[in-house]
Amino acid sequence: MAMTESRFLALAAARRSIRKYTPVPVEREKLDLCLEAARLAPSACNAQPYKFIVLEDPAARQKFCAAAFTGIYSATGFAAAAPALALVVSETGKLSAWLGNQVRDTNFRLMDIGIAAEHFVLAAAEQGLGTCWIGWFNAKAGAKALGLGSGRKIEVLLAVGYPDEAPAPRPRRSAVEFSSYNKI
């Protein structure tokens, strides 16, 4: 299949960060499909060092958002209008993955979270849902509002819902600027 005919590339090219959502609730079946895509994501040493917590209940979302999007974090408060939030919480992984982190000075847990979260957002896009990655929020206050125990951290939020906007594509570097074969 030629690159221009790839359904996956068409999906990846069409996906946008959505910051405005309709008030229509997201069907549980669609959220389940997104979660299944994230569950199937690869992770270092198969550690799967994360848990996805989906807030779809309006009261639960409001309680979390009131804590997470205040003060200096209010710029991302648009996420409170999303019908669902997927919180990606880091968990302790396998010892082998931790050792790899130390030897390589690389945080494989965060890479694993990125891979799983991207599987989630692409599955959402395939179903006509909009998403937005959010890293700017008060993680400690949000965790406290949810009653998360110690040793767990909300690393990233994914706002999820039906888009109420259609952002234009953002500029991307050319293939020549972005990549090379066999040389720097």
Residues 134-158: pLDDT tens digits? 999 999 999 999 999 887 899 999 9
Mean pLDDT is lowest, of 4-18, 76-90, 112-126, for: 4-18
Confidence of residue 16 (pLDDT cuts 50, 70, 90): very high
The candidate with the shortest Cα–Cα distance to 29, out of 127, 133, 122, is 127
Q: Is the pLDDT of residue 101 over 70?
A: no
- What are 50's two structure tokens? 């994360």
- Tell me if 154 is assigned to some domain: yes
- The CATH number covering residue 92 comes to 3.40.109.10
| Helical residues (DSSP H) of 55-181, grouped into ranges | 58-68, 95-104, 108-126, 139-146, 175-178
- The pTM (predicted TM-score) of the whole model is 0.91
Residue 15 falls inside a structural domain? no
Residue 145 lies in a domain: yes
Predicted confidence (pLDDT) at residue 27 exceeds the cutoff of 80: yes
Residue range of the domain that includes 121: 20-165
